[in-house]
Structure 1
Amino acid sequence: MATITQNRVRGRPAHTRGPTYLSYTPDGTKLITVGSNNTVRVYRTGFDGEPTNIDECPEQNSGVSSTDDFFVIGSEDGNISKFSLETMSFEGFLTRCSLPIRDVELSPDGQWCAVSSDDMAVKVIKMDDKNSVMVLREQPKPVKHLSFDPSGKWITLSCTDGLIYVYSLRDEEPDLVRKIDGLIRGVETEDEVCTKVVWHPDGRAFAAPTAMRNIQVVSKNDWEYQRAFVSGHDGDITALAWSPNGAMLVSAGKDRKVVLWETKTQKQLATYDHANVMDFAWHPSKNILSFTNTDGEVYIYNDFVPADHANLVKLPLQPSPFIHDPLSEISANARRPITNGIKDIPNRARRGSLDSLDDILPSELMGDDDDFVVDDDGAGYALGLNANGKRPNGAVDTYAVSKRRIQAWEPQYHESFQPGSTPWRGNRKYLCLNLIGFVWTVDQDTHNTVTVEFYDHEFHRDFHFTDTFLYDKACLNDNGTLFSCPAHDDVPATIFYRPHETWTARADWRTQLPKGEDVTAISLSDSFVTVTTTANYVRIYTLFGVPYRVYRQKSSPAVTCASWRDYVLTLGNGPVGADGNTKLLYTIQNIKRDEICQSEDVVALPDGETLKSVFFSDNGEPCIYDSTGTLLTLLHWRTPSQATWVPLLDTKLLSRLASGRKTESYFPIAVADNKFHCIILKGGDQYPYFPRPLLSEFEFEIPLSSKPASNNKDDDVFNEEAIKEEDELKKLEGQFVLKSILTAQQQDLVDFTKSTHTQRTALARMELEIDKTLLQMMAVECREGEERGMRALEMVSLLRDRTGRMIDAAGKVAERYGRTVLGEKIREVGEARLGGGDMDED
């Protein structure tokens, strides 16, 4: 409950009645205030005497921002003035606008100054070169407030049209990356109502006042609503600010309240009675809050945070209040921790409680706000790493770590993940996405709500239920839905299976894991439920909950699992490679027959790349999709030590991306009907989101070459006909390799299972198709000329037909194009293959 605290400080008359603003220097030694009169006041921290006055300044000032050496102020006459804190004098005008200035803010490094006015455009001016200006023009109305993020690479504009405009300043040309509607109110520039965006000091989220008089936190990574500070004000909010370490938030409203909030819990710590507050400034390191009001007064409030909460002031940088913080959860498809350096944030947070970022980042590495690097993907922080993820040579001193926090060398290992799922985005996440349907959950604070939807509503009915167990993983197939939840509130990790249809009254079942053991991944087949755990156990259950087998996985930590019928594929971290990354190892076994097909074999991943998903195709072939955008399948996996990972599709080489104008990625769903089924992600997204995305499919295309090679003949004159021939040949070569792979899979199926007549017939038909493709390739070679005869003859030797009919057909192709010598060579091949006998005649 909030503590109601009476006024303990008196306002200091600083300016004439009217809007008044203030700013602390980053070192906290000075406080600058501006107001309606033409005097700037500079207060020294810890000095109760009169402030230093700088006269002959503009009147009707509307904003101030400072560095340790200078400050800038904006005024309604349209001027931005720069003043020196060393000489306490005017240095010059930075820029001028034709209409009144409404806000001014310096970037965290002090190198840029952003200016908004009643003009619609916002200027971002370089301080050491006034002619270097970035202009933000996308907003259709004037901007009331400006806010740089802690890195200075992003800026948010609170526009009078009720929208927040987010620009990226990473490049020379600013880029509008987001318009956020429905968060702030539409107000006029001269209104006292605050719509300012305030960035949390960790740079991963910002807060803004809403029309409902609450304060909503929004994450930068996905622009989703996170936690909110509610029921604090009965009147419109007029000012708000985070404490320098992000542990607290302070807000003021027209209800005469100044409310102090705790960031972690969003609870009110104290309430103060102050009217007409319009601007806040926290001291960078002390328990001091200063604020101004519309009466021209300034309050310097020592010991503002009550004694019983004063420890919050001394905490290091705290995390933004996410509903599900990616720092404290396992981030899918990532390698942790950083090699030869500080343990990564998600891993550290997962292993222990996360009370502060002090447990994660040494204070020596925090530096200034500009040194605080923000990962745009939301997976964590990158500290002092170059583009290859390594520390620059000779940079040891720059990234020095305090002695008490030095970490031993550790390899980068692959975190566990659930195939077909997505991370939390706001309060929603997909638990499962596949060709049967999808499972998604919504966090309702006290419980979750889970929805299971199917594509085929004639076969299954959608269902929805209230989830008090807080399930975070799910699998879905034609038989049922499998869920798991982590341990929480003294309740062990739980597995729950719900069949779609049963002939008994109740067939769903629930089982708990031993205490201290959590689920890392689950899979569901037509025969078994498979669970991998943090204790490195693989637990197998029947579909009716009978424990069938428990064994300890050799590779550790476990990464994920997949299953198909009686087969289970498990993956785990293996030995460390030369690049410092652990090698992913997989095992495939037949549970019912208790046979191991492949034991601790290596997953073929390029150095530094990660696994995005693993699954079985509709024909029961193991498949993986990695971070290079490549889909691979496993050949000969039923024969021990003979398995090979072969690519079926490289999405970077898709023809739809050939122009280079389209940038997109793909979220893997399944392999079925010899096609890759996925969700196309645009705009830099890494995971699908709501509303339900559409599924796309791509034909397999073996990555043999990026495009057909040009054929320059006749003194390098471009030969269009030759290019067409080469294009046709490359296409046929791709078909030949792909058909060979699919035929090898079919051959294994026939050899190692009780194959049906249909399957054996399909194999014969597939081999015939390979021979037809080879004959087509040979025909192209014959058209090219006699000099390609040896290549054509080699294709004949690759024919699979042993009756001689296909070789006879090859001879006829050679005869058609007048390749006499080639025809003789083909006849010799046929005679040798048939042991010297005559070839059959059609």
Structure 2
Amino acid sequence: MATTTQIRVRGRPAHTSGPTHLSYTPDGTKLVTVGSNNLARVYKTGSDGEPTNIDDCQEDNLAVASTDTFFVTGSEDGVVSKYLFDTMSFDKFLMRCSLPVRDVAISPDGKWCAVASDELTIKIVQTNDVSSMMYLRDQPKPAKHLSFDPTSKFIAVSCTDGIVYVYSLDKDEPECVRKVNDLIRAVETESEISSQIAWHPDGRAFAAATATRDIQTVSIGDWGNQRTFSNGHNGDITALAWSPNGAMLASAGKDRKILLWETKTQKVLTSFDYANVMDIAWHPTRNIVSFTNADGEVYIYSNFVPDEHTPILKLGPQPAPFIHDPLLEVSNNARRPTTNGQKEIPSRARRGSPDSLDDILGSDIMGDDDDFVVDDDGAGYALGLNGNGKRPIDDPFGEPSKRQHAQAWEPQYHDPFQPGSTPWRGNRKYLCLNLIGFVWTVDQDTHNTVTVEFYDHEYHRDFHFTDTFLYDKACLNDNGALFSCPPNNGNPATIFYRPHETWTARADWRTQLPKGEEVLAISLSDSFVTVTTTANYVRIYTLFGVPYRVYRQKSSPSVTCASWRDYVLTLGNGPAGADGNTKLLYTIQNIKRDEICQNEDVVALPEGESVKSVFFSDNGDPCIYDTTGTLLTLLHWRTPSQATWVPLLDTKLLSRLASGRKTESYFPVAVADNKFHCIILKGGDQYPYFPRPLLSEFDFQIPLTSNPKPDSGDGDGVDEENEVSKLEGDFVLKSLLTMQHQDLIESTNATSAQRTALARMEVEIDKTLIQMLAVECREGEERGMRALEMVTLLRDRSGRMIEAAGKVAERYGRTVLGEKIREVGEERLLNGMDED
């Protein structure tokens, strides 16, 4: 604990004894206080004179919030009042609640005022139009505190049930996007203990006091626990507030202390002895902190931050205290080279990728300030970057110039990623998620702890180990586990492979990459270990560490890789398209035979979309899952220049989403047994978190029509329409799977079982066509030509299926169609004889 500062300021009697609260105007010119009497006091910053009193207030005001032109108070009798600064008088009542008001908050843009009372519903009223109102209804108990984020897009509600409810205000109706459990304690509305959410000024995280008297920060979007301000207070925390630049945090507690913390280190810089503090506010621009207590006093503390720490207060905007800051990392700690070969650390937040912070918080958080991230630790990550977070190509040394700001266009790359992994969420992340098991790591500051768990414990045993290399990528299969780590502490990037079972004493191996080269992605098959790097090299090793092949990838920078048996698939950035985004190119080759199956072909993606995961199915067919929520497979990939990306499933068209009431997304895991295996994500999550979520599976469904229509029960034919759609989808899907199986048979030494399976698949296609034919016959003779076309699609050459089709037509009395079917059968018979 830092030593207590001996300098002490004198409290100013502001109100009668009782709860007292305060609020600075955003421009810092005024400080407003309210308390137990019917008086509001307005202090002018920099003046030692008496404050301006506004006498016509309600009794027992328990909350206050202000803008530059007005302020709002909430009283115990349930009245919310608005006062104008220019006249220093009452303006109007914003609303009236039936129970005491506990907190009020004004959005940063000044348009909305949120009111928390002992009622269950929170009301948000427009400050200029009291008839315009929004309601927050998800919390089951009264709320104690409210807090808008810096962009006015979110509001956090501290409920007396001990849960923080985060609402999105982007739409006409507020939507609860997250319930944060195990953060604040459950306290009653009249308690002096604080459960207030304090948003960090950069808008990417918030802090709150916990039941253990620590202060926990939580990141927005992934909602993970970040750095903790601990071992400070010996009593419950009653107030906290960030400094305007986010570099410091002030907190008060029942231990009669006010603590000043440094955000970057979470250390106490100094402490002050003040009792019964209820509210704290930093001046927006000066070294002044004001606070109130339960005795009706206000303290205006000039030079609050001691001289030895004022340089911290003078810094520019500082980042929130992340364990792993996404602004400094790309796709799970991977760093990619620029086109001129120099390193840079592009941010998804600056690049606007689908899971970027811009999507979570809005791009206006960063504004147009190129100096948002301040390089106060000399790391060099903020030097010479333009507004897109990249060094201009014409200036390799990153020297700022007016010419750089004039460069408006630069190609947008696909960032590298590791399939099956997640970004850091607090101090945890999944390194690998697949059908074999999962690998996850915990950041312990000085080292990591890696755990490998399997689904089948009869086949494999779980294990964990202390990780001093700080592995950030992993692959897992039935043979072993593969890990890689970035360079750290002067050590080069390292690859580590650990087999599950061996017949020798030691079979794991570790190899280092050349200095300056970093791992972008790794993959593991039954035959090889594949590594793609920042030098655009693809490095192939055998399972026991023998370097097998090294070559430079044509498409660069590299994005990711996947492998199956002897085949390796690599993805990389190609030439820029008309929209400014680079084309994503893939290559598939057989490493053992040294054959290229597909060479730098284009991954079929809609404009502005990217790949979320790439993997081989259990049958060995390449698959991708993109940001549109579509699963695609590659057809005819073993034949050069013949490959086609075919959709297997569009998750937006799942029947479970047909009602429109359910909002969820899906984290891809694998394709096996002709099913899509994934993890269902709810509440706006983009990645799975702990505890380990359950795997779900969906049948393939070729996207031919929209969601199935509900049957109205009035015989309007909707059920029949759904039946037709289902049969059509089955026909296309079975045809696709049959073509994939046929490719496998033609390209390998097929077994008799595989050939028998192909024959059964063709019979299933014909059965589906016969069912479709029956539906057409029920519709009437006018659908005869469509029905006859289905007969021509039958694959059976023996005539049995043609005969079955004729019987179907006969059953429904379609004589003309029956004659046509017999003609088709005779023609096929003649053609078959000619071929013989």
Q: TM-score range by the shorter chain?
A: 0.7 to 0.9
8 A Cα contact 1:333 1:417, kept in partner? no
Query: Partners of 2:709 and 2:48 in 1: how far apart?
Result: 80
Equivalence map 1:9-158=2 (5 Å): 9-136=9-136, 139=139, 141-158=141-158
Which AA in structure 2 matches 1:586?
Answer: Y
Aligned with residue 348 of structure 2, among 346, 349, 353: 346
Query: Partners of 1:646 and 1:62 in 2: how far apart?
Result: 62
8 A Cα contact 1:336 1:347, kept in partner? no
Range 638-647 or range 166-175, more displaced: 166-175
SS of aligned partner of 2:742: helix
Query: Partners of 1:12 and 1:499 in 2: how far apart?
Result: 71
Equivalence map 1:466-505=2 (5 Å): 466-505=466-505
Asked if residue 769 in structure 1 is aligned to residue 764 in structure 2, the reply is: yes
1:265 counterpart residue number: 265
Query: Partners of 1:405 and 1:837 in 2: how far apart?
Result: 72
Asked if residue 738 in structure 1 is aligned to residue 740 in structure 2, the reply is: no
Change (3 A) 1:56 1:446: same
Query: Partners of 1:103 and 1:657 in 2: how far apart?
Result: 38
Change (3 A) 1:599 1:363: closer
8 A Cα contact 1:286 1:313, kept in partner? no
Query: Partners of 2:232 and 2:670 in 1: how far apart?
Result: 48
8 A Cα contact 2:631 2:650, kept in partner? yes
Query: Partners of 1:24 and 1:486 in 2: how far apart?
Result: 46
Query: Partners of 2:642 and 2:531 in 1: how far apart?
Result: 27
SS of aligned partner of 1:799: coil
Change (3 A) 1:728 1:143: closer
1:206 counterpart residue number: 206
2:623 counterpart residue number: 623
Asked if residue 704 in structure 1 is aligned to residue 704 in structure 2, the reply is: yes
SS of aligned partner of 1:531: strand
Query: Partners of 2:404 and 2:306 in 1: how far apart?
Result: 31
C-alpha deviations, 1:497-526, integer Å up to 9, x for none? 111100000111111222222211111100
Change (3 A) 1:83 1:761: closer
1:690 counterpart residue number: 690
SS of aligned partner of 1:795: helix
Asked if residue 519 in structure 1 is aligned to residue 522 in structure 2, the reply is: no
Change (3 A) 1:826 1:201: same
Equivalence map 1:13-412=2 (5 Å): 13-136=13-136, 139=139, 141-331=141-331, 345-346=347-348, 365=368, 405=405, 408-412=408-412
Range 263-272 or range 537-546, more displaced: 263-272
Change (3 A) 1:362 1:541: same
SS of aligned partner of 2:328: coil
Change (3 A) 1:10 1:407: farther
Change (3 A) 1:797 1:212: closer
8 A Cα contact 2:330 2:346, kept in partner? no
Shift of 1:132: 3.6
8 A Cα contact 2:334 2:520, kept in partner? no
Range 121-130 or range 804-813, more displaced: 804-813
Q: TM-score, normalised by structure 2?
A: 0.86
Query: Partners of 2:756 and 2:96 in 1: how far apart?
Result: 82
Shift of 1:429: 2.0
Range 131-140 or range 742-751, more displaced: 131-140
Query: Partners of 1:261 and 1:348 in 2: how far apart?
Result: 29
Which AA in structure 2 matches 1:346?
Answer: R
Shift of 1:482: 0.9
Which AA in structure 2 matches 1:554?
Answer: K
8 A Cα contact 2:493 2:512, kept in partner? yes
Which AA in structure 2 matches 1:753?
Answer: T
8 A Cα contact 1:146 1:156, kept in partner? yes
SS of aligned partner of 1:609: coil
C-alpha deviations, 1:752-781, integer Å up to 9, x for none? 212222222322333333334334444444
Range 168-177 or range 513-522, more displaced: 168-177
Shift of 1:821: 4.8
Equivalence map 1:476-625=2 (5 Å): 476-625=476-625
Asked if residue 757 in structure 1 is aligned to residue 752 in structure 2, the reply is: yes
Query: Partners of 2:764 and 2:160 in 1: how far apart?
Result: 66
Which AA in structure 2 matches 1:755?
Answer: A
Query: Partners of 1:335 and 1:813 in 2: how far apart?
Result: 63
C-alpha deviations, 1:92-128, integer Å up to 9, x for none? 4444445544333322222222333455554433222
Shift of 1:91: 3.0
8 A Cα contact 1:629 1:666, kept in partner? yes
CA RMSD of aligned residues (A): 3.6
Shift of 1:38: 4.6
Query: Partners of 2:144 and 2:802 in 1: how far apart?
Result: 81
8 A Cα contact 1:332 1:415, kept in partner? no
SS of aligned partner of 1:114: strand
Query: Partners of 2:598 and 2:216 in 1: how far apart?
Result: 52
1:714 counterpart residue number: none
Query: Partners of 1:782 and 1:465 in 2: how far apart?
Result: 66
Equivalence map 1:411-422=2 (5 Å): 411-422=411-422
2:650 counterpart residue number: 650
Query: Partners of 1:332 and 1:489 in 2: how far apart?
Result: 19
SS of aligned partner of 1:760: helix
C-alpha deviations, 1:334-372, integer Å up to 9, x for none? 9999xxxxx97437699xxx9xxxxx99986369x9xxx
Shift of 1:669: 1.6
Shift of 1:422: 1.9
SS of aligned partner of 2:765: helix
Shift of 1:598: 0.3
Query: Partners of 1:605 and 1:837 in 2: how far apart?
Result: 43
Shift of 1:86: 1.2
Shift of 1:566: 0.2
8 A Cα contact 2:332 2:424, kept in partner? no
Query: Partners of 2:113 and 2:224 in 1: how far apart?
Result: 28
Change (3 A) 1:732 1:97: closer
Aligned with residue 799 of structure 1, among 794, 798, 811: 794
SS of aligned partner of 2:327: coil
Which AA in structure 1 matches 2:368?
Answer: L
Which AA in structure 1 matches 2:699?
Answer: E
Query: Partners of 2:293 and 2:625 in 1: how far apart?
Result: 58
Which AA in structure 2 matches 1:760?
Answer: R
Shift of 1:793: 3.6
C-alpha deviations, 1:619-669, integer Å up to 9, x for none? 111111122222211111111101111122222222333333333322222
SS of aligned partner of 1:647: strand
SS of aligned partner of 1:663: coil
SS of aligned partner of 2:755: helix
Range 425-434 or range 794-803, more displaced: 794-803
C-alpha deviations, 1:567-611, integer Å up to 9, x for none? 000001112222222211100000011110000001111112221
Query: Partners of 1:71 and 1:553 in 2: how far apart?
Result: 62
Query: Partners of 1:365 and 1:347 in 2: how far apart?
Result: 13
